[in-house]
Amino acid sequence: MGKVGKLQKFAEVTSFENCYERAPELKGKWKSDIFKNDNPITVELACGKGEYTIGLAERFPNRNFIGIDVKGNRIWKGAKYALENKITNVAFHRLMIGNIEEYFAMGEIDEFWITFPDPQHAKKRKRLTNGMFLNRYRAISKPGAIMNLKSDSTRFYEFTKEIIAEQNLEVLQDSDDIYAWDDIPEYLANIQTFYEKMWLADGKKIKYLRYIL
């Protein structure tokens, strides 16, 4: 197949059966109506092309995964792969994360991933792990829900650690250089996103935090 352009991806993704666009009518119904099972749901925030959503779904068939991003042309790649490979525990939802509680019900989500978010050097209010965003995620989480952050940015990693300390959150795993870590979990080493590959090629160290929301 030839290269698919950005506009064609935007158009195509709206017709994919595993993609939803700002769908508040699905609030509270992801397990019953979309996945048709009672398995826990992991959300990948700002999923880009969806490498983590897909990679985790392939490794954990007894969980459901939803990739969220505002850019439909990026979601297109993961969604198409899932359709072609019949990965049924995956869906994608195009929306702005700042309104996430309009699209999921209280207690609906068990775990979150954020991979290589925009570092937002000047704008703390836009950082996806700031206190305001954490409250939005809590509004749709089960008690004890887990957050995973994988980032190249020292500033974003340190900022997130400050929020964790301020809020006295329990840290389950913390590494400032995951590839130097002896017991690195397989899914952390072997699923690499578009941005992670770029930063690794640039010689950046990859940081990881896993903590209770």
Ligand X SMILES: C[S@@+](CC[C@H](N)C(=O)[O-])C[C@H]1O[C@@H](n2cnc3c(N)ncnc32)[C@H](O)[C@@H]1O
CB proximity list for 102: less than 8 A, separation 6 or greater: 24, 27
Nearer to ligand X, 131 or 144 (CB): 131
Residues that bind ligand X (CB under 6 A): 46-48, 69-71, 74, 96-98, 115-118, 193-196
Helices (H), the chain: 6-13, 51-59, 72-84, 131-138, 154-166, 186-190, 194-201
Q: Shortest gap between Cβ of 36 and ligand X (angstroms)?
A: 26
Centre a 10 Å sphere on the Cβ of residue 122 and count the other Cβ atoms it contains.
6
Tokens of 79: 């969604």
Q: Shortest gap between Cβ of 210 and ligand X (angstroms)?
A: 16
Q: Which residue out of 38, 69, 110, 118 is catalytically annotated?
A: 118
- The CA distances from residue 21 to 68, 72, 151, in Å, are 10, 9, 27
Active site residue 118: yes
Q: Shortest gap between Cβ of 47 and ligand X (angstroms)?
A: 6
Nearer to ligand X, 70 or 165 (CB): 70
Q: Shortest gap between Cβ of 126 and ligand X (angstroms)?
A: 7
Nearer to ligand X, 50 or 211 (CB): 50
Nearer to ligand X, 20 or 195 (CB): 195
Sheet strands side by side (includes 41-45): 19-21, 90-94, 64-69, 41-45, 109-115, 141-151, 207-212, 171-175
Residue of closest CB approach to ligand X: 48
Q: Shortest gap between Cβ of 138 and ligand X (angstroms)?
A: 17
Nearer to ligand X, 36 or 125 (CB): 125
Closest CA to 149 of 180, 86, 193: 193
Known catalytic residues? 118
